[in-house]
Amino acid sequence: MSSRGARTSEVGRPATAVNLADPDVWVVAPPYEEFARLRDEAPVAWNERLDGQRGFWAVARHDDIVTVSRDTTTFSSREGVISLDDFDDDQSDARRTLLEMDPPQHTSMRKVTSRDFTPRAVSAFEAFARCTAGRLIDEVVATGEVDIVPALSKQLPILTLCRLLGVPDERRADMIRWSDHLIGSDDPSFLDPLVQAIPLEERRLMPFGHPSSLEAFELGRSLRTARAADPVEDVVTSLALGTADGGPLDDMEFCNYFLMLVVAGNETTRHTLTHGMLALSRNPGEWSRYRNDALDSHVAADEVVRWATPVYFVRRVATADTELGGAAIRAGDKVAMYYVSGNRDETHFDEPDTFRIDRAPNNHISFGRGGPHFCLGAHLARLQVRVFLEELATRIQRIEQLAPPERLRSNHINGIKSLPLRFHPIRGN
Ligand code: HEM
Written in H, E and C, the secondary structure of the chain is CCCECCCECCCCCEECCECCCCHHHHCCCCCHHHHHHHHHHCCEEEECCCCCCCCEEEECCHHHHHHHHHCCCCEECCCCCCCCCCCCHHHHHHHCCHHHCCCCHHHHHHHHHHHHHCHHHHHHHHHHHHHHHHHHHHHHHHHCCEEHHHHHHCHHHHHHHHHHHCCCHHHHHHHHHHHHHHHCCCCHHHCCHHHHCCCHHHHHCCHHHCCHHHHHHHHHHHHHHHHHHCCCCCHHHHHHHCEECCEECCHHHHHHHHHHHHHHCCHHHHHHHHHHHHHHHHCHHHHHHHHHCCCCHHHHHHHHHHHHCCECEEEEEECCCEEECCEEECCCCEEEEEHHHHCCCCCCCCCCCCCCCCCCCCCCCECECCCCCCCCCHHHHHHHHHHHHHHHHHHEEEEEECCCCEECCCCCECCEEECEEEEEECCCC
Residue 5 pLDDT more than 60?
Answer: no
Residue 186 pLDDT more than 90?
Answer: no
Count of Cβ atoms closer than 10 Å to residue 73 Cβ: 10
Residue 4 pLDDT more than 70?
Answer: no
Between the CA of 114 and the centroid of ligand 1 the distance, in Å, is: 12
Of the candidates 22, 5, 18, which has an alpha carbon nearest to the alpha carbon of residue 410?
22
Between the CA of 191 and the centroid of ligand 1 the distance, in Å, is: 25
Whether a cis peptide bond, with omega within 30° of 0, leads into 211 is no
The CA distance from 24 to 42, in Å, is 22
What pLDDT is recorded for position 2? 37
CATH code of the domain made up of 23-425: 1.10.630.10
> Nearest 5 degrees, angle CA 39-CA 77-CA 119?
85
Judge if the beta carbon of residue 261 lies within 6 A of ligand 1. yes
What pLDDT is recorded for position 6? 45
Residue of the nearest CA to atom 27 in ligand 1?
Answer: 265
The CA distance from 14 to 38, in Å, is 9
Of the candidates 45, 84, 30, which has an alpha carbon nearest to the alpha carbon of residue 344?
30
Between the CA of 287 and the centroid of ligand 1 the distance, in Å, is: 27
Between the CA of 378 and the centroid of ligand 1 the distance, in Å, is: 7
The CA distance from 269 to 2, in Å, is 32
Q: Tens digit of pLDDT for each residue in 173-183? A: 888 888 777 76
Question: What are the angstrom distances between the C-alpha of 112 and each of 35, 71, 235, 383?
Answer: 37, 23, 9, 22
Residue 349 pLDDT more than 70?
Answer: yes
Between the CA of 375 and the centroid of ligand 1 the distance, in Å, is: 3
pLDDT band at 332 (very low <50, low <70, confident <90, very high): very high
Between the CA of 309 and the centroid of ligand 1 the distance, in Å, is: 12
Which of 35-44, 191-200, 273-282, 381-390 bottoms out in mean pLDDT, i.e. has the lowest? 191-200
What pLDDT is recorded for position 105? 95
Mean pLDDT value of segment 418-426: 97
Mean pLDDT across the chain, nearest whole number? Answer: 92
Between the CA of 377 and the centroid of ligand 1 the distance, in Å, is: 5
Count of Cβ atoms closer than 10 Å to residue 402 Cβ: 13
Which of 133-147 are b and which e, b meaning 16 or more Cβ less than 10 Å from the residue's Cβ?
bbebbeebbeeeebb
Mean pLDDT value of segment 83-111: 89
Q: Tens digit of pLDDT for each residue in 109-164? A: 999 999 999 999 999 999 999 999 999 999 999 999 999 999 999 999 999 999 99
Q: What distance lies between CA 397 and its chain's CA centroid?
A: 29
What pLDDT is recorded for position 427? 82
What pLDDT is recorded for position 208? 64
What pLDDT is recorded for position 122? 96
Judge if the beta carbon of residue 373 lies within 6 A of ligand 1. yes
The CA distance from 230 to 31, in Å, is 50
Atom from ligand 1 closest to the CA of residue 161: 30
What pLDDT is recorded for position 1? 34
Mean pLDDT value of segment 69-82: 94
Atom from ligand 1 closest to the CA of residue 271: 1
What pLDDT is recorded for position 150? 93
Q: Is the Cβ–Cβ distance between 245 and 105 less than 8 Å?
A: yes
Judge if the beta carbon of residue 264 lies within 6 A of ligand 1. yes
Residue of the nearest CA to atom 31 in ligand 1?
Answer: 377
pLDDT band at 96 (very low <50, low <70, confident <90, very high): confident
First-to-last C-alpha distance (Å) of the chain: 53
The CA distance from 345 to 35, in Å, is 9
Residue 206 pLDDT more than 80?
Answer: no
Mean pLDDT value of segment 412-416: 95
What pLDDT is recorded for position 245? 87
Q: Tens digit of pLDDT for each residue in 278-307? A: 999 999 999 999 999 999 999 999 999 999
Atom from ligand 1 closest to the CA of residue 374: 13
